[in-house]
Structures are given as C-alpha cells and as structure tokens.
C-alpha cells in the first residue's frame, strides 16, 4: 500500500490558511510585538527584550502549528467516513467491526490525518506554554522560568484576581477553565500517554486495590472514539481561544 503523503498545492495552503484563525492571531501577535518594543531605560528595557524573545519563540511555534493544521485539514477534506467508529455485529458477522464505512483508501487518508492532528495538538500546547512565559514576564508573576507552563500561570493569575482590575487576570483563567480547553488538554494528554482517542479499538482498564496488588479488570470493550470531525471542531475552537487570549493581552 502507498504510504507516502500527498502534498497540498499552493492554492490549498492559501485557502486553508485564510479560512482559519491564524491570520487574526498573527495580527494580534504583531500588535503585541509593537506594543512591547524597548523604549525606556533601566529594568524595563530588560523586561521588554526578554518579552520580545518569548514572543519570537511563540511566533515560531505558532508557525509550526499552522503548518500541521494545514496538512491536517488537507487530509480531512479528502474525506474520512468515521462517524461510526465501530458496529456490532460487523457486516460479515464479526462480533465487532471497526470503521465499517471505510474503503481501503480511507485508511491511508486517516493515517496521515491522525499524524498531523496529533502534531497539531503537540505544537498548539507548546504555543500555549510559551504564552505562559509571555504572561509571566508581562505581568511580573514571579514564576521561575524553568517551572512556567500555561496551567501554572493561570493558577497564579487566579490567586491575584481580586487585587487586579486588568481583564487578563479574569479572562485568561476563564479560558483555561473552558470546556473546549479542558477537552483539548485531555485529548493531547491521551494521545501522548494513554489509549489513542482517535483510533477505535477494544481496551481494558485495570485498577488496583488494597486486597489484590495485581489489579482487577473493571472495564473491557470499545474505547470512546473521537472521530475526525470532533477533532477538527475542537482544534478550531482551541485556536479561537488562543486568539481571545492574545486579545486580552492587548486590552
């Protein structure tokens, strides 16, 4: 079977990019860079240079995210009939049949879609963590650089909420607590560490207890499958949250 990926044409790149949130996000990023140009003396200059450095890293990771996103959308548009992750019984009498609406070509398409959607999640959450560094410097949160990530920053902003009136102290934690962000974080975590949520299959969950250190099987059956349309919807909404977060920094 062919395993080499098809490559988006220039028209595909431009069309997918223009239909996404990336151009709006980049406009806000450019405004942030302009707003934080070093213009004062003393420590403020050092803070500005440090902040601009993190903004540049953010720019690089955002570009990586955009590239992965365009490839992901390119394969999604080729058609992935995975609304039904499985049926039971199967069409040929199997006890269970996964991806029953697939033809042979769809497995290759979905394989590349999964690769680029996984990569999009990885790059996107790296971008969120870089935003955490930007927030840490801009609002002088005092978190050691090696311990900064977006979750730690939002928790710190939440503790300072009552003593600050700026919109960022209220809105950024709200974004992190949104249903979409939590779902995105769970999907990314499962892709990295657990059963793949975008691959249908049978799973067994084992839990240990005090009486039996070997554990006991408490669940066995098809996993909760997240189809390609759900992945696309979640990532698009997450990008919109990223746009909202950058907009808060300019308020």
pLDDT digits (tens, 9 = 90+) for 124-149: 999 999 999 999 998 889 999 999 99
DSSP calls for 83-150 = S-SEESS-TTS-S-EESTT--HHHHHHHHHHHHHHHHHHHHHHHHHHHHHHHHHHHTT----GGG--H
- Residue 148 inside a domain? The answer is yes
pLDDT at 38 over 70: no
- Residue 4 inside a domain? The answer is no
- Residue 3 inside a domain? The answer is no
Count how many domains the chain has: 1
Highest-pLDDT range among 133-147, 156-170, 231-245: 231-245
Q: Which two tokens stand for residue 242?
A: 């990223």
Q: Which of 12-26, 137-151, 159-173, 204-218 has the lowest mean pLDDT?
A: 204-218
Is-contact 8 66, C-beta < 8 A? no
List the beta bridge partners of residue 221: 203
Given this model, what pLDDT does residue 245 score? 96
pLDDT at 232 over 80: yes
Q: Domain range spanning residue 116?
A: 10-249
What is the separation, in whole angstroms, between the first and last Cα of the chain?
53
- Residue 1 inside a domain? The answer is no
- Confidence label for 39 from pLDDT (cuts 50, 70 and 90): low
pLDDT at 31 over 70: yes
- Confidence label for 160 from pLDDT (cuts 50, 70 and 90): confident
- Residue 5 inside a domain? The answer is no
Chain segment 100-109, per-residue pLDDT in tens = 999 999 999 9
Question: Could you give the C-alpha distances from 14 to 11, 20, 69, 76, 238, in angstroms and in order?
Answer: 5, 10, 12, 16, 21
For the entire predicted model, the pTM comes to 0.89
- Give 67 or 211, the one with higher predicted confidence: 67
Given this model, what pLDDT does residue 48 score? 79
pLDDT at 211 over 80: no
pLDDT at 221 over 80: no
CA 78 – CA 219 distance, rounded (Å): 35
DSSP character at residue 33: H
DSSP run (H or E) holding 198: none
């Amino acid at each position: 079977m062919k395993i080499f990926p098809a490559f988006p044409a220039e028209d595909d790149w431009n069309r997918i990019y223009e239909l996404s949130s990336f151009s709006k996000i980049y406009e806000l990023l450019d405004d942030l860079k302009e707003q934080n140009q070093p213009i004062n003396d003393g420590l403020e200059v050092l803070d500005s240079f440090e902040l601009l450095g993190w903004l540049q890293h953010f720019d690089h990771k955002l570009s990586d995210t955009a590239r992965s996103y365009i490839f992901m959308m390119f394969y999604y548009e080729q058609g992935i009939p995975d609304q039904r992750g499985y049926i039971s019984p199967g069409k040929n009498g199997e006890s269970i049949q996964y991806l029953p609406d697939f033809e042979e070509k769809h497995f290759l398409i979905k394989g590349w879609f999964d690769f680029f959607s996984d990569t999009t999640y990885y790059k996107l959450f790296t971008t969120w963590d870089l935003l955490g560094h930007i927030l840490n410097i801009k609002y002088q949160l005092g978190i050691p650089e090696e311990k900064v990530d977006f979750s730690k920053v939002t928790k710190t902003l939440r503790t300072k909420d009552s003593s600050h009136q700026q919109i960022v102290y209220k809105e950024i934690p709200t974004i992190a607590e949104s249903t979409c962000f939590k779902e995105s974080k769970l999907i990314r975590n499962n892709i990295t560490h657990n059963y793949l949520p975008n691959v249908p299959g049978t799973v067994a969950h084992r839990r240990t207890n005090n009486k039996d250190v070997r554990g006991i099987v408490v669940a066995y059956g098809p996993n909760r499958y997240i189809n390609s349309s759900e992945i696309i919807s979640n990532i698009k909404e997450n990008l919109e949250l990223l746009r909202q977060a950058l907009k808060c920094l300019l308020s």
